[in-house]
Amino acid sequence: DGAIHSDGCFSWVGWVFRDYQDIILAIGNRRLVPQNDPPTIEALSIFYGMLCGKRLGYHILILESDAGVIFDAINNSSSCNATYGNIINDIGELKLGFEACFVRYISEEDNNLTYTIAFLAKNL
């Protein structure tokens, strides 16, 4: 998930890795300068989370996002012409490096843990 700093000068993205029993295995976050628009922040949070998962040696990922527009763009087979289209393309390429990689839409309420991590990180 992502968060925008209140003064508008930068953004934060955060991600959480959980196992099949919902036990947290790892968390991460990253500060982004310059600040991006909300859909781009959401796409970058998925991208950086995937990179982290790759470095941690995970072979199967289930990506969850409450950003419907990003969910649709990732699952669409055609090229994305939005400002974040290059990130969507990078996500598609990165997906190929996993044994399995699924993207699913979740509600904002269900995404609360990742949002909280991104929100807390932006206040550091």
CA distance 81 to 104: 21
Q: Note the pLDDT tens digit of each residue in 87-117.
A: 999 999 999 999 999 988 887 766 666 566 6
Q: Note the pLDDT tens digit of each residue in 6-51.
A: 777 888 888 889 888 888 888 888 988 877 788 999 999 999 999 9
- Domain residue ranges in the chain: 2-122
pLDDT at 99: 96
Report residue 33 CA to chain centroid gap: 16
Q: CATH code for 2-122? A: 3.30.420.10
CA distance 118 to 92: 23
